[in-house]
């Protein structure tokens, strides 16, 4: 404990030193008989307690006290006024300027020791609290770093799960795209052949028109007319003209299907780094999710849609799409694991339930055993064979719904199928609340 004793009388300094050294354990004293030197001594030494005389020549103790307290670094130092003054105004002035205590002259040894020990204990407690606060601040900073690392880890886990899902459905998506691309190509080949026939027919028409335009024609044009009719018949122009409109319409439908599949896949594959918390139609997200998973599911189960009239919700479209895809693929894999002869059934329905918009996905698969129900949302928990699942799909889906202020519930009975219930709030909120959600 470093103690600075300031008094212009050396006798008082010696008495104070002897008493402190004899009674205050682990004390180190610095004696000063010049008030002008106090601030330099504080700057050069890590002082814990200042014993400061009030009446001194040049600068009095109150002025030194003011200078000490004006420096924020010394706000926790214990300052005890050492004085023979007895008027209350002087004491009031000292305490108003930051004094912690006082010791009267002439010195009463018992009082002196008691007040110095109290100051030492107070300083120790202050230093202890300071150390605890610094440790807490360091721990808080470490916790912030760990939290950030966890957020980064969660982000990469989500992306990994997306890649896993994309890997599972990539072949199916390619097949879905190949179908419309196939008939678009076929239609274009047909249009190319039709164009050749139309060119031949138009060439005959042009010849006929040139003959009609010739003013010197004397022969009957009936022969040319018959030739035109024969050309149309050979080239099947009536059939060609009849086929053109549906072919073009079918081609447009095919291109639209490809665009829709690609758009849905792009929405699902977004990294999630952008702010995507906006109003969305859950039915549209369901349609896109089912489009992406169509080829993965269609050879395993029939999907029945019961999409109700529901209000829009504030959500990240890509993340909610990921939840739906994970749940639908899980349902199809559960049905597939039964090795049943016929197709299973998956029902996807949406409806409004008070403050929530709900999407319920039910399957007639094997269900979930009762002992697993409490663990299915745990990270890395899976009932699939080793190597066939990460155990992250439902955990990530649960986390996404929680971050959205929604819920992911499960209802299942072993041998009787499973239902996953996705709930999102639809209550209208102000712009300020929307910013908080973001």
Identify the burial level of 69 via C-beta atoms within 10 angstroms of its C-beta, where 0-12 means exposed, 13-18 middle and 19 or more buried.
middle
Query: Is the omega angle on the peptide bond into residue 427 within 30 degrees of 0, that is, cis?
Result: no
Confidence of residue 273 (pLDDT cuts 50, 70, 90): very low
Q: Are strands 313-316 and 277-280 parallel, antiparallel or unpaired?
A: antiparallel
Phi and psi for 160 in degrees, rounded to 5? Answer: -65, -40
What would the pLDDT profile of 4-38 be if each residue is shown by its tens digit?
Answer: 998 888 888 888 888 888 888 888 899 998 889 98
Confidence of residue 187 (pLDDT cuts 50, 70, 90): confident
- Residue 78 carries which DSSP code? E
Task: Answer yes or no: is pLDDT of 355 > 60.
Answer: yes
- pLDDT given for residue 429 in this prediction: 45
What whole-number distance in Å separates Cα of residue 156 and Cα of residue 271?
A: 9
Cβ-contact 289, 307 below 8 angstroms: no
Task: Answer yes or no: is pLDDT of 158 > 90.
Answer: no
Identify the burial level of 1 via C-beta atoms within 10 angstroms of its C-beta, where 0-12 means exposed, 13-18 middle and 19 or more buried.
buried
> In angstroms, what CA-CA distances link 334 with 217, 241, 394?
82, 50, 14
Angle at 255 between CA 171 and CA 193, to 5 degrees: 110
Mean pLDDT of 232-252: 78
Confidence of residue 363 (pLDDT cuts 50, 70, 90): very high
**Could you tell me which residue, 55 or 198, shows the higher pLDDT?**
55
Task: Answer yes or no: is pLDDT of 222 > 80.
Answer: no
Count of residues for the chain?
Answer: 438
Confidence of residue 172 (pLDDT cuts 50, 70, 90): low
What whole-number distance in Å separates Cα of residue 48 and Cα of residue 286?
A: 69
* Of 417, 300, 301, 331, the residue nearest 366 (C-alpha): 417
First to last CA, the chain: 52
Identify the burial level of 224 via C-beta atoms within 10 angstroms of its C-beta, where 0-12 means exposed, 13-18 middle and 19 or more buried.
middle
Task: Answer yes or no: is pLDDT of 342 > 50.
Answer: yes
Task: Answer yes or no: is pLDDT of 152 > 80.
Answer: no
The CATH code of the domain at 271-438 is 3.30.565.10
- pLDDT given for residue 251 in this prediction: 78
Helix 237-269, helix 317-336: angle, nearest 10:
100
**Portion of the chain with pLDDT greater than 70, in percent:** 79
* Of 332, 414, 337, 328, the residue nearest 368 (C-alpha): 414
Q: How many CB atoms lie within 10 A of CB 130?
A: 11
**Could you tell me which residue, 90 or 310, shows the higher pLDDT?**
310
Phi and psi for 106 in degrees, rounded to 5? Answer: -65, 155
What would the pLDDT profile of 81-120 be if each residue is shown by its tens digit?
Answer: 888 777 778 888 888 889 988 888 888 888 888 888 888 8
Tokens of 210: 């040139």
Mean pLDDT of 316-341: 86
> Domain limits of the chain?
2-107, 155-269, 271-438
**Per-chain mean pLDDT for the chain:** 79
> In angstroms, what CA-CA distances link 159 with 50, 156, 270, 280, 318?
61, 5, 9, 22, 12
What whole-number distance in Å separates Cα of residue 246 and Cα of residue 190?
A: 12
Cβ-contact 45, 4 below 8 angstroms: yes
Confidence of residue 268 (pLDDT cuts 50, 70, 90): low
- pLDDT given for residue 369 in this prediction: 84
- pLDDT given for residue 304 in this prediction: 94
What would the pLDDT profile of 283-292 be if each residue is shown by its tens digit?
Answer: 999 998 888 8
- pLDDT given for residue 219 in this prediction: 55
Identify the burial level of 283 via C-beta atoms within 10 angstroms of its C-beta, where 0-12 means exposed, 13-18 middle and 19 or more buried.
middle
**Could you tell me which residue, 55 or 378, shows the higher pLDDT?**
55
- pLDDT given for residue 345 in this prediction: 93
Confidence of residue 274 (pLDDT cuts 50, 70, 90): very low
- pLDDT given for residue 438 in this prediction: 46
- pLDDT given for residue 103 in this prediction: 86
Task: Answer yes or no: is pLDDT of 372 > 90.
Answer: no
The CATH code of the domain at 2-107 is 3.40.50.2300
Task: Answer yes or no: is pLDDT of 386 > 70.
Answer: no
- pLDDT given for residue 167 in this prediction: 52
What whole-number distance in Å separates Cα of residue 235 and Cα of residue 317?
A: 52
Identify the burial level of 391 via C-beta atoms within 10 angstroms of its C-beta, where 0-12 means exposed, 13-18 middle and 19 or more buried.
middle
Task: Answer yes or no: is pLDDT of 416 > 90.
Answer: no
- pLDDT given for residue 265 in this prediction: 63
């Amino acid at each position: 404990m470093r103690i600075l004793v300031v008094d212009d009388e050396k006798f008082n300094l010696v008495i104070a030193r002897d008493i402190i050294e004899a009674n205050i354990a682990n004390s180190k004293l610095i004696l000063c008989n010049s008030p002008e030197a106090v601030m330099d001594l504080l700057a050069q030494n890590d002082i814990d307690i200042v014993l400061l005389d009030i009446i001194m020549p040049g600068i009095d103790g109150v002025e030194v006290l003011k200078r000490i307290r004006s420096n924020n670094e010394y706000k926790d130092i214990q300052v005890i006024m050492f004085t023979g003054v007895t008027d209350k105004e002087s004491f009031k002035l000292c305490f108003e300027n930051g004094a912690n205590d006082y010791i009267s002259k002439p010195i009463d040894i018992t009082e002196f020791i008691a007040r110095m020990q109290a100051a030492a204990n107070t300083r120790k407690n202050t230093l202890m609290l300071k150390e605890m606060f610094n440790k807490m601040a360091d721990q808080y900073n470490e916790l912030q770093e760990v939290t950030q690392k966890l957020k980064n880890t969660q982000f990469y886990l989500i992306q990994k799960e997306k890649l896993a899902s994309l890997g599972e459905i990539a072949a199916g998506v390619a097949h879905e795209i190949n179908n419309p691309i196939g008939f678009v190509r076929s239609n274009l080949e047909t249009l190319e052949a039709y164009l050749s026939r139309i060119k031949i027919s138009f060439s005959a028409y042009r010849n006929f028109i040139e003959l009609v335009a010739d003013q010197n024609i004397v022969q009957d044009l009936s022969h040319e007319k018959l030739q035109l009719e024969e050309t149309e018949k050979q080239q099947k122009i009536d059939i060609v003209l009849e086929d053109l409109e549906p072919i073009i319409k079918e081609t447009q439908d095919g291109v639209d299907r490809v665009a829709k599949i690609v758009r849905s896949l792009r929405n699902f594959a977004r990294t999630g780094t952008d702010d995507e918390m906006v109003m969305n139609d859950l039915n549209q997200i369901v349609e896109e999710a089912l489009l992406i998973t169509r080829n993965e599911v269609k050879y395993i189960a029939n999907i029945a849609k019961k999409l109700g009239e529901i209000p829009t919700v504030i959500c990240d479209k890509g993340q909610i799409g990921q939840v739906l895809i994970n749940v639908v693929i899980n349902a199809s894999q559960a049905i597939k694991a039964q090795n049943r002869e016929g197709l299973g059934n998956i029902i996807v329905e949406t409806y409004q339930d008070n403050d929530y918009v709900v999407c319920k996905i039910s399957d007639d698969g094997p269900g979930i055993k009762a002992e697993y129900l409490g663990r299915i949302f745990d990270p890395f928990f899976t009932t699939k064979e080793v190597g066939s699942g990460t155990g992250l799909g439902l955990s990530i889906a649960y986390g996404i719904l929680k971050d959205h202020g929604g819920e992911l519930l499960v209802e299942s009975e072993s041998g009787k199928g499973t239902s996953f219930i996705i709930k999102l709030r639809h209550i209208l909120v102000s712009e300020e609340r929307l910013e908080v959600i973001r």
